[in-house]
Chains A and B, each alone.
Chain A
């Protein structure tokens, strides 16, 4: 039983990470029907932004108070990357055949990874992420369960972000504009909504959450590297599809489901095909099954059949 609960905890941690990234896929897809394949790289750049902030401003500090500033640094860098990417690479391709933006996204993805590898000092190998008091260090033991401190930060970050995002989408003018554009861009435009601005905001919102996830992963794994975005991005996309792409609640639900499924696969699939060696395979099998048999996802996609 303890093992089961322990893996639930692990799964929720991992799932929160996926969910934070998945929101970015879903928000953008809901509005422009674009799989922003480079979103994983935005997440990676967020982690590097946080590390850079720490290295430049607070090297050697471990107090909890530096964490909000690191997160801020991460968010700034990620949002900037995402907005520039939208403006330079994606916007000119609106209305182009669907192959074009996907290939562009792969190009951006490779470009960003390499840019970080080549130009961030020391990024050719793994970089140590700073240890921050309270959120890193020895595990908390609750009734036989071992809970990583960073895991609490991760789950907490998801909860706070989700609440803020819900408020933003449903209670602010911009958020309502986003909803309008995702339902019918042409009519929204006629109603005086600046569609370009809404799209930029969608990219920015997704990037901000991905940046927070970047910091969380840095704290969890204690190190970051330029390749971390690829697999995380792919998993997060799986989560978005699992929950129903275009659907923000879906992204959260999908992320948590995927995280728990992965942890369970590590622990409970018996024999040679279990264990952590196969968990990624099972995650992708899940992705394929969902895409084939329930493309609208668990909660239903906002936009169905975008072939």
Chain B
């Protein structure tokens, strides 16, 4: 334990929030802790009671002493609250030396109050009368309010930075495994929720709990741990992704969403090389996916394919990726002369040219290659030997449908892309990109081959997107130009920005959010684009570095945060020491 490090309080509370918090009546009083404990107890107890009179609202919340999923979520919040309370004062107080329990409690309290209020409103709304809320619901709400009040009165203890916490490696690995299992389980559970309100509530629960853990500093520690045990994490994550179809009981509905997420994520990862690593804004990236898809379609067995040549699929993948990469080279070549906003506009123009061209090459306005706006329909399913991707298969007694087949194929491609991405990022090339991103002129002066690396970023990213595109053609059954409009490029960019530029996890999270939420929250379906636009604006205003940002990236957007800069420097120093 390197005790020499200073006890910096991490940036837990927002700067504006602190004074407001200090004006809270009864702040620091002795009653705070017991009050919160009573609240947490009520929260747990209330969840075991019936919440609603009718049994057809939000699943079934009407049975005493047999909580359903939504109620168990509150139980989980309550247990987490008790743990943090004990960490604040009591048997777990050593834990409280590292984690900011008071902040976490505030978020748990807030989350519980919002969650319960939303639930009660939903019950009232769906049954038409607030009277239908049973005492259990009200008790839980009171518990949530007490917890929030108590936690607001608690004063944060002085904690040490969890960045420097030392934990044994087997414990870290178990934590990662448990966490991943939770993710798998949570995803399967959430996707199984048919009801949009239940789904939204579960999201609220997951979001607030992670917020609490972030504020406590758990995620800071997790960040260090996952850095240290990268292999375990990667392997575990793939195991989870691999196991996911088996949780779906042969249903194709969620698998179809999952495959779309994977295609989208694979493309976004390619874009992340261009935007996140090399810092070149590309607004026409969907064209690369489209190029791959068109190659996949034209060389397929579809009756509408315009070229007679039908090579095996593996060859098609390579050709698609290469065509895409060549397009990438062409689109990248202006980077020799233009950069910044102008480059963004050039790429946008290329994207539009691609779409128009695909819509025109129908024999009337150019050679017949793409069938114009009608696209190429009826692309048959892939077949590897006797394995037909269109047919369901039985594995370990669980039926895996058509989309599950494509899911596994796409998973392999995504894994390949992630592998390439990480290797590139940690290589000389990756450092060159970062140098270009930070300061092109300086990089050039230091002997970085700026133009070559920029071209490579475009071509490499395009290659990966083209690969995904060839599979997409078969997965989608048809390829049409209107799948490759500007808005799709904007979505890809949003996935990268939303999740966090330059990180793999961030892009995966961003892609999942952008594809999954509109599918699940049907009631916002019509408003989803409007919300999307609003989210982009708000993100740029309040968290430009994305949800999961690398610390270095964070600093780029917050120059004046001395505290952050110092912490990053310390971590770097310590890493250097450890290596020496």
Contact = CB atoms under 8 A, between A and B. Distances in A.
A280 interface: yes
B273 to A, nearest CB: 16
Size bin of chain B's contact surface:
35 or more
Given A97-B556, A97-B557, A104-B537, A111 B530 contact: yes
A112 B340 CA distance: 25
Given A107-B537, A118-B530, A272-B364, A100 B544 contact: yes
A272 B530 contact: no
Contacts of A277: 356, 359-360, 364-365
Given A98-B341, A272-B366, A307-B339, A103 B356 contact: no
Interface in B319-362: 334, 337-342, 344-346, 348-350, 352-353, 356-357, 359-360
A99 B502 CA distance: 14
Contacts of A109: 533
A292 interface: yes
Contact of B360 (A111, A281, A306): A281
A102 B526 contact: no
A234 interface: yes
B337 A278 contact: no
Nearest to A100: B540
Interface string A228-244: 00100010011001000
Contacts of B493: 103, 106
Given A111-B537, A292-B334, A97 B530 contact: no
B365 A96 contact: no
Contacts of B340: 98, 306-307
Which label, helix, strand, loop or mixed, suits the secondary structure of the B interface?
Answer: helix
B529 interface: yes
B334 A291 contact: yes
Contacts of B544: 96-97, 99-100
A89 interface: yes
Contacts of A288: 334, 346, 349-350
Nearest to A116: B530
A58 interface: no
Contact of A284 (B283, B352, B364): B352
Nearest to B557: A97
Interface string B404-426: 00000000000000000000000
A199 interface: no
Interface in B521-580: 526-527, 529-530, 532-537, 539-541, 544, 556-557
B536 A104 contact: yes
Contact of A275 (B338, B353, B365, B536): B365
A111 B346 contact: no
Contact of B281 (A102, A114, A293): A102
A22 B428 CA distance: 43
B541 A89 contact: yes
8 contacts: A97-B544, A106-B533, A106-B536, A108-B537, A114-B530, A277-B359, A291-B338, A295-B338
The 4 lowest CB-CB distance pairs between A and B, nearest first, are A107-B536, A111-B533, A110-B533, A114-B530
Given A35-B344, A107-B532, A281-B356, 11 more contacts: A103-B536, A106-B283, A106-B533, A107-B536, A110-B490, A114-B533, A118-B527, A280-B352, A281-B357, A288-B349, A307-B342
Interface of A: 35, 89, 92-93, 96-104, 106-115, 118, 230, 234, 237-238, 241, 272-273, 275, 277-278, 280-281, 284-285, 287-288, 291-293, 295, 306-307
